[in-house]
């Protein structure tokens, strides 16, 4: 299986979305105090990075 730059960016985007969803779920369901807000904020940051990686496909 040949992995070119677009495939690598697609995998990175997918992994970052999964990690972001996991962090948001931790913030929403596991931690009820201020730490939950931190987990959710970092999860949203992962979504932002995944969005950038998705936008870079085909341009790098």
Rounded to an integer, what distance in angstroms lies between the CA atom of residue 17 and that of residue 5?
A: 18
Instruction: Give, in degrees to the nearest 5, the angle at Cα 48 between 21 and 22.
Output: 10
Rounded to an integer, what distance in angstroms lies between the CA atom of residue 32 and that of residue 34?
A: 7
Residue with token string 């962090």:
23
pTM value is 0.83
Rounded to an integer, what distance in angstroms lies between the CA atom of residue 27 and that of residue 23?
A: 6
- Residue 2: band (very low, low, confident or very high) from pLDDT cuts 50, 70, 90: confident
Tell me the pLDDT tens digit for each residue of 7-59: 888 899 999 999 999 999 999 999 888 999 999 999 999 999 999 988 888 77
């Amino acid at each position: 299986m040949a992995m070119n730059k677009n495939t690598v960016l697609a995998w990175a985007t997918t992994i970052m979305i999964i990690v972001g969803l996991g962090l948001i779920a931790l913030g929403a369901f596991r931690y009820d105090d201020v730490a939950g807000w931190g987990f959710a904020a970092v999860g949203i940051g992962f979504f932002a990075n995944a969005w950038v990686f998705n936008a870079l496909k085909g341009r790098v």
